[in-house]
Amino acid sequence: MPRALITGITGQDGLYLGELLTAKGYEVFGLVRGQSNPKVATVERIIPGVQLLEGDLTDLSSLIGAVEISQPDEVYNLGAISFVGLSWKQAELTGETTGMGVLRILEALRITAGSDVSRVRFYQASSSEMFGKVRETPQRETTPFHPRSPYGVAKTFGHYLTVNYRESYDMFACSGMLFNHESPRRGIEFVTRKVTRGVARIALGLQDSITLGNLDSRRDWGFAGDYVDAMWRMLQQDEPDDYVVATGETHSIRELLDVAFARVGIDDWEPYVKQDPRFFRPAEVDLLVGDPSKAMDDLGWKPTVTFTGLVDMMVDADLALERQAAGQALTHP
């Protein structure tokens, strides 16, 4: 039975990856921070049999302990401060977690491996935010980086470190340069979920409007369930490498609003959407669209959910959740 250690198991991707690896027969270990993390119950419900270990990406000895206990064949480093907007407000914490956290987990693997450092396969959750300011369209593995946020800078550090540990120590270390991926499990601070949840609540009469920032930026949005499959595929190759994972399509926030509101029968969303400077960023990434050819050719990977299919799935899930919550509020005042 192969053994996998996942940092960030309480996040969107950690849940999908844990589910996928369990279905493939892995023994799954997950790193959980804090002394009473409220997301533990959800993780244990979605990933039956998961073994949770206490640890934090800002604490090297806890990572060494987690590696020693789990003895992993594969490590997926998904833990991070992942919200770009927050990264300006908590830049130091973002650097420590999203950037230096990569150094610590790589060191934990190197220190515990002894002479057999190439035995463990390592996946780093890198990001299209490393491309940042548009230098080439579509963005591919060779596109120069120009990150536009403390988050993007920290991810770029983590990416180069992953490449460097592969070259320095012969580690099987891969970096997945993943474009935005979403799902009903997406955090409510991200724009897709903020919109689909808001639309569901407006349709049910629970909310009057949604307040957003920049409506003109464009993103390449895919389904998270597809993207964790690409992570796993990277670690099954003969040689470690870095891959762009994307759909190859780009859509604006306005198009996201078109599709989400249409799902509940509203054609003109203008009366329901407000803008507030609070949600604009000090520096924006205007356009992201990835070229996933290498992942498709080498990994045999392809996205299975369209943009409209993804937004519909998320609106439907939020409608169901909001109805359920309203029902519970009625029965348990």
Q: Annotated active-site positions, please?
A: 156
Sheet holding 172-178, edge to edge: 51-54, 27-32, 3-7, 74-77, 121-127, 172-178, 242-245
From the list ligand GDR, ligand NDP, none, partner contacted by residue 217 (C-beta under 5 to 8 A by kind) = ligand GDR
- Which residue's CB is nearer to ligand NDP, number 112 or number 192? 192
Q: Is 7 in the site for ligand GDR (CB under 6 A)?
A: no
Closest CA to 231 of 185, 187, 181, 189: 181
Scanning 30-38, 66-74, 298-306, 325-333 for contacts with ligand NDP by CB under 6 A, the matching segment is: 30-38
From the list ligand NDP, ligand GDR, none, partner contacted by residue 183 (C-beta under 5 to 8 A by kind) = none
Give how many residues touch ligand GDR by CB under 6 A.
21
Residues near 134 by Cβ (< 8 Å), separated by ≥ 6?
286, 287
Which of 2, 3, 22, 33 contacts ligand NDP by CB under 6 A?
A: 33
Scanning 2-10, 109-117, 199-207, 235-243 for contacts with ligand NDP by CB under 6 A, the matching segment is: 2-10
Q: Is 175 in the site for ligand GDR (CB under 6 A)?
A: no
With helix as H, strand as E and coil as C, how does the chain read? CCEEEEECCCCHHHHHHHHHHHHCCCEEEEEECCCCCCCHHHHHHHCCCCEEEECCCCCHHHHHHHHHHHCCCEEEECCCCCCHHHHHHCHHHHHHHHHHHHHHHHHHHHHHHCCCCCCCEEEEEEEHHHCCCCCCCCECCCCCCCCCCHHHHHHHHHHHHHHHHHHHHCCEEEEEEECCEECCCCCCCCHHHHHHHHHHHHHCCCCCCEEECCCCCEECCEEHHHHHHHHHHHCCCCCCCEEEECCCCCEEHHHHHHHHHHHCCCCCCHHHEEECHHHCCCCCCCECCECCHHHHHHHCCCCCCCHHHHHHHHHHHHHHHHHHHHHHHHHCC
Compute the least distance from the CB of residue 93 to ligand GDR, in Å: 14
- Which residue's CB is nearer to ligand NDP, number 144 or number 187? 187
Q: Is 70 in the site for ligand NDP (CB under 6 A)?
A: no
Scanning 86-94, 121-129, 222-230, 240-248 for contacts with ligand GDR by CB under 6 A, the matching segment is: 121-129
From the list ligand NDP, ligand GDR, none, partner contacted by residue 214 (C-beta under 5 to 8 A by kind) = ligand GDR
From the list ligand NDP, ligand GDR, none, partner contacted by residue 194 (C-beta under 5 to 8 A by kind) = ligand GDR
- Which residue's CB is nearer to ligand NDP, number 81 or number 108? 81
Q: Is 187 in the site for ligand NDP (CB under 6 A)?
A: yes
Closest CA to 179 of 150, 207, 219: 219
Touching ligand GDR, residues 257-296 (CB under 6 A): 279, 281, 284
Which of 13, 27, 56, 129 contacts ligand GDR by CB under 6 A?
A: 129
Alpha-carbon separation of residue 230 from 160, 170, 262 (angstroms): 20, 22, 31
Compute the least distance from the CB of residue 120 to ligand NDP, in Å: 18
Touching ligand NDP, residues 73-132 (CB under 6 A): 78-82, 97, 125, 127
Touching ligand GDR, residues 205-224 (CB under 6 A): 212-214, 217, 219
Which residues would be at the binding site for ligand NDP (CB under 6 A)? 7-8, 10-14, 31, 33-34, 37, 39, 56-58, 78-82, 97, 125, 127, 178, 180-181, 187
Interface residues with ligand GDR (CB under 6 A) are 82, 84-85, 127-129, 179-180, 189-191, 194, 212-214, 217, 219, 253, 279, 281, 284
